[in-house]
Amino acid sequence: MNGIDSQTLTEWSKTLGGALVSRLLHTFLTFLALFILLRNGNEIGQHVLAATDRWFGRPGERLAESMASAVRGTVNGTILVAVGEGILIGIGFMLAGVPNAALFAVLTTAFAMLPLGAWLAFGTAAIVLILAGGSILAAAAVAGWGAVVMLIGDNFVQPALIGGAVRLPFLWTLFGILGGLETFGLIGLFLGPVLMAALLTIWRQQSGPAPDQPS
């Protein structure tokens, strides 16, 4: 029995260690790429716009600008909504008497940038409140308030902010966020609205009035 347990523990440790090393490597490469892009962002952007204009003309340049606006709007919308959700839910933590309410508010803000992350944060806060001697009613209020804030923020406020940045209709933005998450995972949170912005820009260019032909 001890041999089986030891073997199982060894295999589990190897699996966990491999997954941890893989995540650390992906995180390192992500931050390295982000550092390079931020350091040389202006130069890279100028080269991309110049190449796009040379290959596709002014319509291609407008498409590239729309995609850049989609990425910027998605990032800004995600961060602003996460901060707002963290503040509102954090106020609920303090009113309900959650231990270390400020810490849980910070964790909620950070996890709110991930799909369903904030739900785990305020769910854990509700459990901690019960374990600390709080009432079940107070814990239910924490969970209910967190759910209301997240549903409104993720389904209405965030799509409105992202859509406003790239002139995407609300429904297109919502489809882009949800479809991107379903298809591409976490990166789809940003990639989905970008693709939607590109498709909508192409549609507007192709369905708009044709430019006047020189005589």
Give me the average pLDDT of each 10-residue run along the chain (215 residues): 59 74 77 75 73 70 70 76 93 93 92 80 93 92 94 84 68 78 74 75 65 47
Q: What is residue 194's predicted lDDT score, i.e. its pLDDT?
A: 73
Other beta carbons within 10 angstroms of residue 65's beta carbon come to 16
Distance CA 139, CA 147 (A): 12
Quote the tokens at residue 179: 């479809």
Q: What is the DSSP letter of 168?
A: -
Contact 161, 149 (CB under 8 A): no
**Percentage of the chain lying above the pLDDT 70 cut:** 76
Q: What is the DSSP letter of 154?
A: I
Domain spans in the chain, listed from the N-terminal domain onward: 53-206
Displacement of CA 209 from its chain's centroid (Å): 36
- C-alpha distances out from residue 149 to 44, 144, 176, Å: 39, 9, 21
Q: What is residue 104's predicted lDDT score, i.e. its pLDDT?
A: 92
Interval 63-86: pLDDT, tens: 777 767 766 777 777 788 889 999
